[in-house]
Amino acid sequence: MPVFSASAVSPSAPTSTYPASGSPVSSSSPSSGPASSVSTSSLSAPSASASSSSTPSHTSVSHTSASGTSPSRPERPCVTELRLSAFAGHRGARFPLGPLTLFAGPSGCGKTSALRAYEALARLGGGAALDEVFPDPGACVPERARPDAQHRRGFRIGCTADGPQGPVRLDLAVQAEPGLRIVGERLTAGGRVLMETALRDPRRPAVQATWHTAGSAVVTRAPLPDDRLGTALLPLRVAGKTDGQRQVLAAAEQMVVALRSVFACEPQPGRMRGPATVGAGRLMRGCDNLAAVLWRTRTECGRRHGLLVEAARAGCAGPVADVLAEAVGDGRVRAVLDRGDGVRTGFERLGDGELRYTALALVLLTGPGVLDVDPVGEVPAALQTLTVLCDDFGLGLDPGQRDELLRLAARMCARGHIRLAGAVSDGTWAGGVGEARVVDLVR
């Protein structure tokens, strides 16, 4: 079981628009517009060797795809590193992510903020507006960050997505005060900056974007809105007529595919005990409609439902012959455990640990068609990976439930179609379970 301390992977984190203090860097060079504008010239691009070194060996595949994918590159794009250069309580932090990653440490060490940053990148990759993703941007600014002469403060986050195009880096600088806006973004692959943006005129709600062309003009320049992730907009703006443009598109699409399929799961036992209205049956973040989802999934895939029953049998008290939903009238259903002897125990009688355990097992055994996520519709499901984010992964679980759930997660993550990033207060119990990777935030 690899253990990574935050300090061990933090040195030499790249600097960018916001330095460690959290204040934006002003530029007075002729190319950066007015002296009060923000430059992204210090968003350093990694070397090719640095980029390739961030690829965990266990994410690779052993064959070459029809599209010419290198044997060392995964066919399914996935996020392999999260960077929090200046975000909440993190400064210069780099966290390697595997198929199954647990952030470990006591309350207040930054587990939740790391998962929040990952989810924020995912939502931006899906096209969400900045104010939707960061309703309280001031909480994302490092506590002791000092404003610059224009009273501006902000934060910086980023990630690396590996896939058929090799490692692709995304670095983002966000101004939180006095107004929320993206002031710098950089997309890099193979040591080459493929796209970058910079705030040239603070009076306009736009950033100046430059992307690689390698045609009659080396680069293309155009304004992009300052409240959206530019990488997610590139497929709508880049024509793809030259090799350079096609490289930009491929890198942007890999990053977006890696980010889009994320399901943040926070099971709320109090909401799972009551009946649910039968509808589309897509599991909500708090698992409120667990009964409605069971009503649907029990008949859709007998094999996966059988695995859910096995998991419930291992994690719930008493005998379990089936897990199902039964109608209670008015178009509503309630979830029950069939004890096999004519007795059915309603979920309203189960303990918090049993409810959280069952909900998380269902999440791990299903996929985007069942969970409330918005994957990339133009990309086949076989080429996408669902990432589950779960804060307080072991909350309310007894040691047996916790261990069984982690073993289930390891088995599902080993198949390659699902990944899990969770948070636990103590990660020592996860040792020796599959490919579980513990990131210790206090070592």
Is residue 389 included in any domain, yes or no?
no
Q: Residue range 210-228: average pLDDT?
A: 90
How confident is the model at residue 374, as a pLDDT? 75
- Residue numbers of the domain that contains 234: 22-75+110-258
Does 197 share its domain with 310? no
The pLDDT, as a whole number, for residue 102 is 96
- The pLDDT value recorded for residue 352 is 97
* Arithmetic mean of pLDDT, 61-81: 61
- The residue from 349, 372, 395 where one domain ends is 372
Q: Both 157 and 251 in a single domain? A: yes
Q: Is residue 216 part of a domain?
A: yes
Do residues 335 and 250 share a domain? no
Question: Residue 390 corresponds to which tokens in the numbers above?
Answer: 């779960």
Residue 430 in any domain: the answer is no
What pLDDT was estimated at residue 59? 30
Domain shared by 118 and 156, yes or no: yes
> Is 104 a member of any domain?
no
Identify whether 59 is part of a domain.
yes
Which among 258, 286, 305 is the end of a domain?
A: 258
**pLDDT score of 393:** 95
pLDDT top residue among 213 and 214: 213
Does 62 score more than 60 pLDDT?
Answer: no
Give the mean model confidence (pLDDT) for residues 173-185: 96
* pTM given for the model: 0.84
Co-location of 149 and 273 in the same domain: no
Q: Looking at residue 299, what is its pLDDT?
A: 86
Claim to verify: residue 36 and residue 146 sit in the same structural domain: yes
Find the mean pLDDT for residues 221-246: 93
* Final residue before a domain boundary, out of 328, 356, 372: 372
Tokens standing for residue 158: 């980023």
Please indicate, yes or no, whether residues 128 and 216 belong to a single structural domain of this protein: yes
Q: What is the pLDDT of residues 412-434, one digit of tens each?
A: 999 888 999 999 999 888 877 77
Mean pLDDT across the stretch 198-226? 91
> For the chain, what is the domain count?
2
342 burial (CB, 10 Å; 0-12 / 13-18 / 19+) is: exposed
Predicted confidence band of residue 407 (pLDDT cuts 50, 70, 90): very high
**Residue 343 pLDDT more than 60?**
yes
In this structure, are 334 and 236 located in the same domain? no
116 and 245 belong to one structural domain = yes
